[in-house]
A = this chain, B = another copy of it.
Amino acid sequence: MAGNTFGQVFRVTTWGESHGAAIGATIDGCPPGIPLTTEHIQADLNRRRPGTGGATSPRKEPDRVEILSGIFEGCTTGTPLTLIIYNQDAHSKSYDHLKDIFRPGHGDYSYLMKYGIRDHRGGGRASARETAARVAAGAVARRLLSFHDIDVFAYTLSLGGIDAENLDFEAVWENRLFCPDNEAAARMEERIEAVKKEGDSLGGIVGIIANGCPPGLGEPVFNKLDADLAGALMSIGAVKGVEIGSGFMAARLTGSQNNDALTPEGFSSNNAGGILAGISNGEPIIARVAVKPIPSISKPQNTVNLDNEQVEIKIGGRHDISAIPRIIPVCEAMVCLTLADHLLRLQTLEWTPESLEMDEL
């Protein structure tokens, strides 16, 4: 009910505040027999680490994950996995001057309205730090998907108004912004430097591809695969829009342009983004998300304090200029979690009299 659990079969509950003792994730429903070590998880966490891209702040965050339960002799047991990351570099004091002020673009106001109390230290539960737990859980889902030859990756499609013009996916690993266009990446870095000087921040667009999904993932009505992906991606704090396949462009096309013709060799295009009527069709799954600019900026802004008096605020400290590229592994994690959940649900429906003759029990 309280919204900290994701998924129906592969169920993940994240917990922890940015300035508490630890953050973590508990996964219930992971099948037994999957080889899993902290290294599989650490690899994804490291990609989320500050310093990965030019847009990120210098804050040190080692983010070492430990597995507290659910593993026996190197394999999952089918019992709950608890992943924990202890908080180390938390300066609560540096937030004290913010405790009576509502930061524009943050959840300060809406949280206080909802709960009547508010943990002002770095945003508490609303902090982007919570996403480290998602990335850890997503890495377990990714491990499960890898045994089904499903691969999920995300990349920077646009940043600060500069769009990738080539989609050369080799290039993604050649620049700090995970952009499939090295030349555009260079201009994005320049834009970041310029905006940093102004004390401002930037938004962008992340593209996501899942290759290898079998047809049949997704449920027909409310839990369509695209619906669950949209909910999953929009649950990332900075995301303000989600598209599947041709997305908003579809609004401007005709049916004959947007329909993907079938041929004996398969679909001739992929405007559907790999999902027809909410169910995967075996083509790559394609999504894009709009990422808003980081709301914490050092430029002066108008806001009010708890007494509803007008005040000016400048947010100092270590803040990223853009949620990109650190949001990239978070996007991947949410897609991995959604696909893992639907992959395991799929099994459920395969239980037909016919399949029985294969003597599955």
Contacts and interface: CB of A to CB of B under 8 A. Distances in A.
Contact of A260 (B66, B71, B105, B205): B105
Contacts of A215: 109-110, 113-114
Contact of A203 (B30, B251, B304): B251
Interface stretch (A1-9, A41-49, A55-63, A176-184): A1-9
A230 B242 contact: yes
A234 B244 contact: yes
B68 A15 contact: yes
B256 A301 contact: yes
Contact of A350 (B23, B281, B343, B360): B360
Chain A interface size, under 10 / 10 to 19 / 20 to 34 / 35 or more: 35 or more
Interface in A62-80: 66-72, 75, 77-80
B256 A200 contact: yes
B278 A107 contact: yes
10 contacts: A2-B348, A17-B69, A35-B353, A77-B117, A78-B349, A113-B281, A234-B244, A240-B247, A262-B302, A263-B304
Nearest to A10: B1
A235 B243 contact: no
A192 B113 CA distance: 46
Interface string A97-131: 00000101111011101111101000111100010
Given A4-B220, A23-B69, A107-B279, A33 B250 contact: no
Contact of A255 (B82, B105, B242): B105
A215 B112 CA distance: 9
A60 to B, nearest CB: 22
A291 interface: yes
A355 to B, nearest CB: 8
Given A68-B24, A69-B20, A280-B110, A8 B1 contact: yes
Nearest to A19: B72
The 7 tightest CB contacts between A and B, nearest first, are A107-B277, A3-B219, A231-B231, A3-B223, A113-B215, A201-B255, A227-B235
Interface in A178-228: 195, 198, 200-205, 214-216, 218-224, 226-228
Contacts of A358: 358
A158 B348 CA distance: 39
Nearest to A101: B262
A261 interface: yes
B235 A278 contact: yes
A21 interface: yes
A250 B1 contact: no
A301 B258 CA distance: 12
Given A241-B248, A258-B295, 16 more contacts: A2-B30, A5-B28, A15-B28, A15-B82, A21-B69, A33-B115, A33-B117, A77-B117, A110-B281, A223-B235, A241-B241, A255-B293, A255-B295, A255-B296, A261-B303, A264-B304
